[in-house]
Structure 1
Amino acid sequence: MEKRVMTDEVLFEERVTASGQKLGLIVLNVEKTLNSLTLNMVEKMQVTLQDWRERSDIACVFIRGAGEKALCAGGDVQALYRSSVEQPGGPCEYAETFFETEYRVDYLLSQFGKPVIVWGHGIVMGGGLGVFSAGSYRIVTEKSRLAMPEITIGLYPDVGGSYFLNRTPGNSGAFLALTGASFNASDALYLGLAEGFIASQYLDEVMQALMAEAWSTSVGDNHERVFELMRGFVQRSVDDRPAGNVEAASAEIDALFKQDDDVALINAIIAHQSDNPWMQKASATLAAGSPLSARLIIEQLRRCASLSLREAFAAELVLSTNIIRRPEFAEGVRALLIDKDKNPKWQHGSAADVSDADIAAHFVGPWEVNPLHNL
């Protein structure tokens, strides 16, 4: 028997495997918005994942996006925009509840215990990268396009980005955070953000193999089974891997980070002249992005460098809440997605115009107790 519960935006299915245990399948199911996450989606994911984690008959979880274009393009920023402009100064109830629940889901996935396989096909950005990065076996394909492009809308890389971008080689994570540069499957492997490259044509075969697996009652054994099962598909996919960009540009990136202060670093990246088109686009994105976000990104990564993942999520909730209550984010979304004039009126003309006091204010929680204190 298969148990299936459906909603408009996210599908949950329990598939009985050859061993009698079940595979829990989650499909993000909003193709028209590239499977962007809503509060309804993350609330339902939280409830189902908590149930699956405790049940002995669920052997592993598989997460993918509906359609061929995306795992998930991020959070539904238009809904967050409405929450921000309708309740200026806050509390912005929808947005703040969304951030808290989204971070709880990502942390739950990262601490799930049982194998969590995430199929990172197509666009994997923002909140989508939060779900993806939390998996225990993260699959990238020839169509994977990953990024944390929040600099373009006055936000910053959250959903655990404060943690995982601090653990990439050299200065690559900070560079990706500041520039919103997209990266592909080979880059994700280099950055330590994926376990295996599997050509997208093998999705059905991967699912069949998971269903045919003789799952153990031991969680550790099941993790080994997933890695062994995926190894064959990885070997068959070697010839489909694209050339990466990040490792090839690593020396160029690291040279840019030899600056005396944050403003000098931002200005150096903006002014950088490169023969590499990928680097050129990265510089241009930072130049057009929010100067406030650029300063906040550097400070957030600095503050979270030695924090645990749990502590990083709590720190992110402080910064996200403060940002959503202020006008920069709403203006960024307005320019990119609402009016689509692509001409945001940022609060500051340059990174140098952002005061230290303004930055510091963003890192003071607006509540007596952080809602994620019990994460």
Structure 2
Amino acid sequence: MTESEILFEERPTRDGGCLGIATLNAPGSLNALSLAMITALHAKLDAWAEDVSVHAVWLQGMGDKAFCAGGDVVALYRAMTTSPGDEGEAARAYFGAEYRLDHFLHHYPKPLVVWGDGVAMGGGLGLLVAADHRIVTDTSRLAMPEISIGLYPDVGASWFFQRMPRGVGLYLGVTGAQLNARDALELGLADRVIASEARQDVLKALENADYRHPQQAVREVLRGFENRALAPEAEVMPRLDHLQVLSDAADITQVVRRILDDPREDAWLAANRARLAAGCPATAHLVWRMLCRHRHGSLAETFRDELMLSVQCCRHTELAEGIRALLIDKDRTPQWAYTDVANVPASYIDGFFMPLWDAETHPLADL
């Protein structure tokens, strides 16, 4: 990581304290998270948590296109393809650090505001969902699009998908459907909608806030800028009945078949069908399996299971092939191990869930 890939600033507040501001500064990759960025962010947020002069923390992305488009999967691809045998260690280091950061943010002891402007997908959505004050704007686009690269919705998705209406998380996971600000509010992924161009005004108001009661101070500032009229028309809830019908089946093969055979003429549904049809068949099985495994699980249990599964994904062929087709060669013609969801053997999926550590030696055992 170069020093400029993540920026830290402490802006003084009127009472002599300060507001900690962290900026993901890799706009060329839509602020994708590298391991070094994750490590630096965690260290600084930890220091701010202990610093009594820091009243609140603000996390944002550089530019107006994206808060964060996800993890730096290109770096993972290099590890998988140039260091055979070492890909598991690279994956353990990267995903272990990412999930530890996400878990930390879910339990952050000070007001934490995430400005989810523009693209917030994959690992970026994981950061947004974890905050106290989750802001989306009129330009926000959210998704867990891992079906397109042969991974699966991670960063706690098997936990936060469970908190949506029945069947919705499953549908989002297998289609990579894109959501807007209204969807984010209605599905519990965000708390407020504020105009994209109001960013600096919000920050100035936070600098001038009365921090005798920090959470209340931040809440009052954000409430003053909230404008839900800016949110586009929802995509999910107007279609809730239909999505629940599509997702209502005994196994993932039937769910996928119902989605792909859906004749409804609807641009949003059609885009989701196309993404699923082109996506990794194994991923659909991983989504189903993880949602079954974590129906009643804790957030920490989800992150521990995700670390195991993510390392296994790096040891299998699908993730490297998906990244190659989408981001390296950009031919968009991945050669998946199986042609469709119905042909993926249960034994193949079982291999992704082979334990790598016991309870005592798990890298995230202390969460």
Q: Mark yes or no: TM-score above 0.5.
A: yes
The yes-or-no answer on 1:275 pairing with 2:271 is no
Q: What is the CA RMSD across the aligned residues, in angstroms?
A: 1.3
Gaps of 5+ in 2: none
Q: Where in structure 2 are the equivalents of 1:183-202 lying within 5 Å?
A: 183-202=179-198
Counterpart of 2:220 in structure 1 is 228
Aligned AA (1:120): G
Cα pair 2:209 2:218 within 8 Å, conserved: no
Percent pairwise identity: 42
Secondary structure of the residue aligned to 1:37 is coil
> For the Cα contact (< 8 Å) 1:89–1:326, is it kept in 2?
no
Higher mean C-alpha deviation, range 181-190 or range 258-267: 258-267
Deviation at 1:365, TM superposition (A): 2.4
Corresponding residue to 2:314 among 318, 324, 328 = 324
Aligned to 2:362: 370
1:360 aligns with 2:350: yes
Shift of 1:267: 1.4
Shift of 1:260: 2.5
Question: C-alpha distance in 2, partners of 1:337/1:44?
Answer: 25
In the TM superposition, what is the alpha-carbon distance from 1:56 to its structure 2 partner? 1.6
Q: How does 1:110-129 map to 2 (within 5 A)?
A: 110-129=106-125
Which residue of 281, 284, 305 corresponds with 2:295?
A: 305
- The answer on 1:337 being equivalent to 2:327 is yes
TM-superposed deviation, 1:226: 1.7
Cα deviation, 1:270-313, whole Å, max 9, x if unaligned, reads 22121221011111111110000110111011111211111110
CA distance in 2: counterparts of 1:228 and 1:241, whole angstroms: 20
The AA in structure 2 aligned to 1:310 is: A
Alpha-carbon distance in 2 for matches of 1:210, 1:22: 10
SS at match of 2:201: helix
Summarize the alignment of residues 60-71 of structure 1 with structure 2, pairs less than 5 Å apart.
60-71=56-67
Q: Distance in 2 between matches of 1:325 and 1:370?
A: 18
One-letter code aligned to 2:178: S
Figure out how many residues of one structure are paired with residues of the other and give that number. Answer: 364
Secondary structure of the residue aligned to 2:4 is coil
Deviation at 1:19, TM superposition (A): 1.8
Find the counterpart in structure 2 of residue 181 from structure 1. Answer: 177
Asked if 2 retains the 8 angstrom alpha-carbon contact of 1:37 and 1:72, the reply is yes
Partner residue in 1 for 2:166? 170
Alignment of 1:1-375 (within 5 A): 7-216=3-212, 221-234=213-226, 237-368=227-358, 369-375=361-367
Give the whole-Å Cα distance in 1 for the aligned partners of 2:54 and 2:165: 35
Using the size of structure 1 for normalisation, the TM-score is 0.94
Deviation track 1:234-256 (CA, whole Å, cap 9, x = no partner) reads 1xx24322111011111110011
- Runs of 4+ in structure 1 off by over 4 angstroms are none
TM-score normalized by the length of structure 2: 0.96
Contact 1:154 1:328 in 2 (8 A): yes
